[in-house]
């Protein structure tokens, strides 16, 4: 990650599993190195609180940006999501859906962020840095729709692009 940081878009989702961590200090250092080497960090509000030691999501997200990423995306379950760059900020409400199974919601959200960036021509380091508030809003809405569709099905079954793309004609 560190070697390719300047050449590639690197996206990282820490997925903290505190009960499996033997040495939290060493683990935090590894996570910090990965954050610093990343272009995009997608993190849940719970993981961000663990990483930062605070429930102040905005302050914690801004601190992550200072460590090196160009985009920080924070998911908050049924409270929606947030996206931060050094120049822009956006919040999006969670999309309403019937809940069958929440397993895979965060991973499908993360994949949808990357898919949105790719299909919008933004999956390049310099383009990520240029994302505007309207871009972040579109990205969060798309990723939220994908996560909601995933939650409506059993077994971490994310939707195919064709199932959600019609709602996002900008591609």
Give the residue from 58, 55, 51, 59 showing the smallest Cα distance to 35. 51
What are the pLDDT digits (tens) for 3-53?
Answer: 999 999 999 999 999 899 999 999 999 999 999 999 999 999 999 999 999
Cα separation, 81 vs 102, whole angstroms:
15
- C-beta separation of 168 from 146 below 8 A: no
* Predicted confidence band of residue 166 (pLDDT cuts 50, 70, 90): low
What are the pLDDT digits (tens) for 105-130?
Answer: 899 999 999 999 999 999 999 999 99
Architecture of domain 11-167: 3-Layer(aba) Sandwich (3.40)
Structural domain boundaries in the chain:
11-167
* Predicted confidence band of residue 153 (pLDDT cuts 50, 70, 90): confident
- What does the pLDDT read at residue 169? 58
What are the pLDDT digits (tens) for 54-106?
Answer: 999 999 999 999 999 999 999 999 999 999 999 999 999 998 888 887 777 89
Which of 53-62, 130-139, 144-153 has the weakest average pLDDT? 144-153
């Amino acid at each position: 990650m560190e070697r390719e940081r300047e050449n590639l878009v690197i996206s990282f989702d820490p997925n903290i599993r505190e009960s499996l961590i033997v040495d939290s200090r060493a683990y935090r250092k590894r996570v910090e190195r990965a954050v610093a080497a990343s272009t995009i960090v997608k993190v849940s509000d719970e993981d961000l609180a663990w990483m930062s030691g605070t429930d102040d999501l905005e302050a914690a997200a801004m601190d992550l940006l200072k460590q090196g990423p160009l985009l920080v995306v924070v998911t908050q379950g049924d409270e929606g999501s947030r996206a931060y760059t050094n120049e822009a900020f956006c919040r999006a409400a969670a999309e309403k859906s019937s809940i069958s199974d929440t397993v895979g919601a965060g991973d499908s959200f993360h994949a949808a962020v990357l898919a949105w960036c790719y299909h919008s021509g933004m999956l390049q380091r310099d383009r990520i840095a240029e994302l505007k508030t309207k871009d972040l809003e579109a990205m969060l809405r798309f990723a939220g729709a994908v996560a909601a569709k995933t939650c409506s099905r059993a077994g971490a079954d994310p939707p195919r692009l064709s199932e959600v793309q019609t709602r996002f004609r900008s591609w």
